[in-house]
Structure 1
Amino acid sequence: MSTAWITTPVTADLLRGALDVERTERGVLPHRLPAWARAQYADGQLAMAESQPSGVRVAFRSRATAIELETLPTKRVYAGAPPRPDGMYDLLVDGRLAGQGSVAGGDTVTIDMAAGTAETERGRPGTVRWDGLSGANKTIEIWLPHNETTEVIALRTDAPIEPAPDGGRRVWLHHGSSISHGSDAAGPTTTWPALAASLGGVELINLGLGGSALLDPFTARAMRDTPADLISIKIGINLVNTDLMRLRAFTPAVHGFLDTVREGHPETPLLVVSAILCPIHEDTPGPSGFDFAALGSGRLAFQATGDPAEVAAGKLTLGVIRDELARIVAQRAEQDPALRYLDGRDLYGEADFAELPLPDRLHPDAAAHRRIGERFAELAFNGDGAFADPGRDG
């Protein structure tokens, strides 16, 4: 027996975690930066990162027992490296994982790191389907793949839907690097910010932007203009591995970023988080480079290419950045009691690296993402943490 599908247009009121929604030829494309911000710097890495919908989900109420989501994903293929797994879609019913799936096909971007080129091949849309769900009225969330640009073409259900109501939970706005973006997490609900948000009982807006946590003023303005009850900013690794600036520029840039965020959120709890442990860049500056010897053996890995002697001239390492962030936050906190600092090594430090090493020397794997998310929830949302909720038990 065929299913009698009801097709509902996916509009902004069905999407959570996106700051902008672009209408495309075939559907809608969620963005994690607004159009005006994207227009200020046409960087391919940033464009790829912000259009990958980490933390973005389709949310609605329905009695549907069957659901289809048709999408056009963009897959990344690295020449010489093993194929990447298809992006994962997580289905949550009343807050609990009820199913997963992937969409094959789509557009493909082949990246040749040795040649510095990228070629795009157009593909066809695909569909992920779940059925056998309860016929009770329920809140359904479909978390889009955190690491695949995803055009949403059609949402089909076997019962009418309506946008999920505001649950009254606090909104947590987070900005960071590819690690916050999700890097090698197992799925969109197990990136460390998504896991921490679930444990902390908050709604996540994830501005983790792979390769692009660079103290960009437009990102600060986007955060300034986004309603939020809790804000965190994770700073460090991208500034080192891009070798973007020296200490002289870094300190004023951090102050400027925080000043801008505070213009829109003058009293919101604001947590500055430094980088997790990354041994190749603790004392060695960037830039990071691809380890072509590893690539030749079919493994993606990175190496530090800077000279530790250049630190004296202002080159940044993770150690330098942590010391300066701690000093900046201590200085500002004298007039800003809602500002706190968290050393990223409290989330993932030397003992964690010994047990769960970074597979490519930069990014945590799925198990490490889980550990970082649990640690952040414990340190930020519980006890006297920066995001503790006095009205919440535990």
Structure 2
Amino acid sequence: MKNNIRALLVVVFMLFASSVFAAEEPLQVKCVDSSGAPLEGAKVTIVCLNCKITPGDELKSDDEKSDSEGFASFRKLENAVYRVFGRKNGFSPVLYEYVDFQSSPQSIQLEFQEGKDRKLYFEDMSLIETTTKMQEEGLALYRSGKAPEAEKILEQAVALSPSNLDIYYDLANIYLSQGKFDQGQELLDKLSHLSSILIKTYNPYVPSGYYKEMVDKTAELLSRLPILKADNAFKENKYDVAAEGFRKAVENNPKDVKLHVNLAAALANAKKYDEALQTIEKASRMAPGETPLEDLKNQIVTAKASAELEKVQAALNEGDALLKNGDFENALIKFQGSLSMVPENARAPILGRIGLIQLRLNKSDEAVESFKKAIELSPAEKRGDYIKPLFQHYVNKEKYEEALSLLID
């Protein structure tokens, strides 16, 4: 982050190359008190920051008093950037920066608060040192891990110097680092607005290209907001939110391998394993042979298998509970539903349970098929677990040849 730019507190006084002309349409300033009631007799001053002037002359300015309805109107203005401020006895001064006047009528509002008059930042050069020290103090606090304290200091600095772009940028970053994305975005939007206006002006105390650099930096940080939000959601274990953020980021940056990896990790933690594997496959194609990508893929495969086993075990436990309570019909439905959750070579134990329930429900033919399938799919050392109940069933039904065939096989 840059040091405070001294020139932001110095009056801008030269024209940045642009054509200007007088416009008949007014700039209307409404003055109100803290309750919103019109304030009559307030002195409103506008200062043109990039009107054509002779070097060495003061900036062009104009004053108007607000009428009984609180309005002060300015006509025949050049298309230019204006600073607007107001004063009235018994009230603190009010500042509005900036108005980018371009022929069309514009209206702004100044809300006055009761208080004492004081100098504004561009009228008191000592405020440069004050805000510089506050900015340095705030950044030192932030670097030492005291973001909330840094935030308070920089908020005070912004109040003193409301057009200091560097302080806006620093404060926005501190907001974002704490997950205060709405506040951070609001400040960045304001910074973007101020920068886009000030880029039209010229200030000899500002390094060449400074405003353009600030416009670009702000735009870049705004473009990263979805990623920052997704990162924060991931840290807070809000994996669905994180996945949605990374998904949008990948759409905007389809060749960014890191974003694909982050998306895959978020999806895996959200238990969306198939999409996670598809995403990591895309990343692997963009960066073939990368060991970390293969490691992550293997972790996702393992996590998927583990999750499937947990799901199957949960279904079996539910089925066993139903069976224990004598609810054979629903137990049968639960076990049959769990078959599709496991690969075929692991279905024998479930088929054995199904066969026993079917016998209890007098579904003999179906039970026989279930036991036969269990015998077919089970390893040799486990086949006896399913041959025994089927053998007993044949004996009970006096189907001795079928029973003997089981023993011969």
Place the TM-score, normalised by the shorter chain, in its bin.
under 0.3
Higher helix share: 2
TM-score by length of 1: 0.24
Higher normalized strand content (fraction of residues): 1
Normalized against structure 2, the TM-score is what? 0.23
